[in-house]
């Protein structure tokens, strides 16, 4: 985790949450256990510090862009207009 300019109290709160996650516990299915704890910690960071994962907004933008792009092309084609799509890589 990169330095996000947290205050001393915020850093202590984060460290306390990590301690409470009890990551040293051994389980039958460690992958599932650690994925659950990671999700729990991410939810904590989002609720306490308004942190979002890297790439979060890029993923949202791509999702909405594809959704609206498909809808627009479908609408144009349904009106009998020919739509040509292509990618030229900036050339």
Domain ranges of the chain: 1-51, 54-91
Q: Among all chains, which residue has been given the structure tokens 């330095």? A: 3
Identify the CA nearest to 41 among candidates 32, 51, 31: 51
User: Any idea of the CA torsion for 7, 13, 15, 18, to the nearest 10 degrees?
Assistant: -140
Q: What's the pLDDT at 3? A: 58
10-residue block means of pLDDT along the chain (91 residues)?
Answer: 70 84 81 89 83 79 88 84 66 52
pLDDT of residue 57: 82
CA distance 82 to 66: 19
Q: How far apart are the first and last CA of the chain?
A: 38
pLDDT at residue 72, as a whole number: 87
The tokens describing 23, both together, are 């990551």
pTM value > 0.75: no
59: tokens are 């993923």
Q: What pLDDT shows up at residue 7?
A: 79
């Amino acid at each position: 985790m990169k330095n996000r300019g947290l205050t001393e109290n915020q850093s202590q709160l984060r460290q306390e949450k990590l301690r409470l996650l009890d990551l040293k516990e051994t389980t039958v299915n460690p992958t599932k256990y650690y994925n659950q704890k990671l999700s729990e910690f991410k939810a904590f960071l989002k609720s306490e510090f308004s942190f979002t994962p890297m790439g979060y907004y890029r993923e949202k933008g791509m999702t909405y862009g594809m959704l609206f792009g498909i809808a627009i092309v479908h609408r144009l084609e349904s009106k009998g207009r020919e739509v040509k799509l292509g990618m030229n890589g900036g050339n």
